[in-house]
Structure 1
């Protein structure tokens, strides 16, 4: 017996002014990024380093499309707090536990906007002398760049709008939305 498709509307989706990237577009892009990453690394093992919490959804789904042997570790950076703007210099809260010397490293983040966070993480990891170090971001908001930094792999380039969903949050809310959307201005205040 064929299954019925059930449409589930996320309860927080009414807080979005618009949807920038649909779940279907995310799935298509993940498959393409996974193929590109697999091709770049060949059969080499890759140490994947997501910047958490934001990159968790993206990393988990992306790695299902990467066909290389994977080692996984995380770093935790503090930069946004409960705001829509980055606050100064990113602060490292949790560093790697794996040794990356001589390893191929892929740093994954949810969004590249000012460039401060990803640049700081890359500079920190370079000191550990990996064989190679590349970066992958789900979203690239070039208009907000304050640091000269470009990612090696980019999911989507987006306009200068505050977005949530698919791992991106506002005050730790909205991460579970299946799409990426613009948060309504009236929802961009702490309750």
Structure 2
């Protein structure tokens, strides 16, 4: 049996999302943006972010897979739900991810979307695991940088479970513990 140790509360997540929305508002001013949400893990984050942004915006979705039901990325990214290129061409796109760890998914999607000629293409991720990155990758808007832990809640899952938790937590195995005092969570990159 596993247990979950909270590392970011609902209030901490809400506060940071408001800050990210302000950054996006300031960058784009009155321009229209399209939030392109990577399903399924980013749907809660993207919904809260969209409500916090004070700009004309459209919401679109893509789904890719690289994890399956495991805790480690397979490294093989495949498109599961595609997007119409007309919804990308000439638009300000913000690709919204739940977590960037290896960077494989974001690199795949950025290359894929660039072929559709967006006006701009930025990446916004709730979480970034800098220690796990395998690519030189620019994440334009980052909620929190976290160590290489397996996290669940607030849209992130393990085998389809735990997405509904209102906080972000670390999934611990029976008898495993987390030293919260040694845990370094940073806002941004």
Fold conserved between structures, TM > 0.5: yes
Alignment of 1:130-169 (within 5 A): 130-169=118-157
Distance 1:109 1:99 in 2: 18
Distance 2:138 2:91 in 1: 21
- Structure showing greater radius of gyration is 1
Give how far 1:47 is off: 1.0
Distance 1:117 1:164 in 2: 18
In the alignment, is the contact (CA less than 8 A) between 1:16 and 1:181 conserved in 2?
Answer: no
Distance 1:77 1:21 in 2: 26
Give how far 1:94 is off: 1.1
Write the deviation string for residues 131-165 of structure 1: whole angstroms up to 9, x where unpaired: 10000000001111112213100001111110000
Which of 43, 47, 62 is residue 30 of structure 2 equivalent to?
43
RMSD, aligned α-carbons: 1.5
Write the deviation string for residues 93-114 of structure 1: whole angstroms up to 9, x where unpaired: 1111352111110000000000
Distance 1:137 1:149 in 2: 12
Give how far 1:89 is off: 1.7
1:30 aligns with 2:31: no
Aligned residues: 174
Write the deviation string for residues 15-36 of structure 1: whole angstroms up to 9, x where unpaired: 4442111111001001111111
Distance 2:107 2:174 in 1: 32
Evaluate the alpha carbon distance shift between residue 161 and residue 39 of structure 1 in structure 2; reply closer, same or farther with a 3 A threshold.
same
In the alignment, is the contact (CA less than 8 A) between 1:139 and 1:156 conserved in 2?
Answer: yes
Give how far 1:123 is off: 0.7
1:19 aligns with 2:33: no
Gaps of 5+ in 1: 1-13
Gaps of 5+ in 2: 176-189
In the alignment, is the contact (CA less than 8 A) between 1:79 and 1:90 conserved in 2?
Answer: yes
Identify the residue that residue 179 of structure 1 maps to in structure 2: 167
After TM superposition, what 4+ stretches of structure 1 lie above 4 angstroms from structure 2? none
Give how far 1:43 is off: 0.4
In the alignment, is the contact (CA less than 8 A) between 2:3 and 2:174 conserved in 1?
Answer: no
Identify the residue that residue 107 of structure 2 maps to in structure 1: 119
In the alignment, is the contact (CA less than 8 A) between 2:152 and 2:163 conserved in 1?
Answer: yes
